[in-house]
């Protein structure tokens, strides 16, 4: 398993609901936390590791030494939003890039945990921002879609470098053609489960 980088098609794929919470999912979640901490992140969505299903992990501390702050949110839904604040964001799928994004200051959300129990949380400030960033991922939205136009223009050169590298990897056969990736994603997502899915 590895974190996929922009502009991999899975990052623009609208993820499908998880249908089964099982040991496969729990194993993947454990591996995702290891990846997130190694990359010094505070959140990681399933599609960032090539899985087009609606779940993500987060830990506002970004520290494995604080497991009490870990959250696994499966099939999350936003029930209420309020306030607005601007803050700088980055993304593990766009390493090195940062930009200011306006987010809701407070969100009330519902989701399922790894035990299949429904949870309802009121998140504010950083946890609310992390949630919204990862929730966007599940809908194929990246933080660069929400930054000011002038900030986006400053990123054009860096984004092109990511795009050129991705194209080179496809030409070298290291990554399948985008049309084949999208076909595979649709097929896998329709099952809503991780069984028999080969993770790179």
User: Tokens 């470098």 belong to which residue?
Assistant: 161
pLDDT tens by residue, 126-146: 999 999 999 999 999 999 999
Measured between alpha carbons, how far is residue 97 from residues 67, 69, 85, 91 in Å?
27, 26, 20, 7
Q: Which tokens is 50 given?
A: 């090539």
pLDDT digits (tens, 9 = 90+) for 20-32: 899 989 999 999 9
CA distances from 169 to 1, 5, 8, 162, 191 (A): 17, 12, 11, 11, 28
Catalytic residue among 31, 68, 134, 150: 134
- pLDDT one-digit tens code per residue, 43-75: 999 999 999 999 999 999 999 999 999 999 999
134 in catalytic set: yes
- Report phi then psi at 178, rounded to 5: -55, -40
- pTM here is 0.92
Instruction: Tell me the residue length of the chain.
Output: 200
Neighbour tally for 168: CB within 10 Å: 11
Specify the pLDDT at position 132: 97
């Amino acid at each position: 398993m590895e974190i996929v980088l922009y502009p991999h098609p899975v990052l623009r794929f609208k993820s499908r609901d998880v249908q089964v919470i099982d040991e496969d999912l729990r194993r993947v979640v454990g591996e995702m936390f290891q990846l997130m901490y190694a990359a010094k992140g505070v959140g990681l969505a399933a599609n960032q590791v090539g899985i087009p299903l609606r779940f993500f992990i987060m830990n506002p501390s970004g520290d494995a030494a604080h497991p009490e702050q870990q959250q696994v949110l499966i099939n999350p839904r936003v029930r209420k939003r309020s306030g607005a604040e601007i803050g700088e964001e980055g993304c593990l799928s766009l390493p090195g890039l940062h930009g200011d994004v306006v987010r809701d200051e407070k969100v009330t959300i519902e989701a399922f945990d790894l035990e299949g129990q429904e949870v309802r949380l009121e998140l504010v400030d950083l946890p609310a921002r992390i949630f919204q960033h990862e929730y966007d991922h599940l809908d194929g939205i990246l933080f660069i879609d929400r930054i000011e136009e002038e900030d986006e223009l400053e990123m054009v050169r860096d984004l092109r470098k990511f795009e050129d590298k991705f194209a080179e990897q496809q030409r070298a056969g290291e990554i399948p053609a985008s049309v084949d990736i999208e076909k595979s994603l649709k097929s896998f997502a329709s099952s809503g489960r991780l069984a028999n899915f080969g993770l790179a």
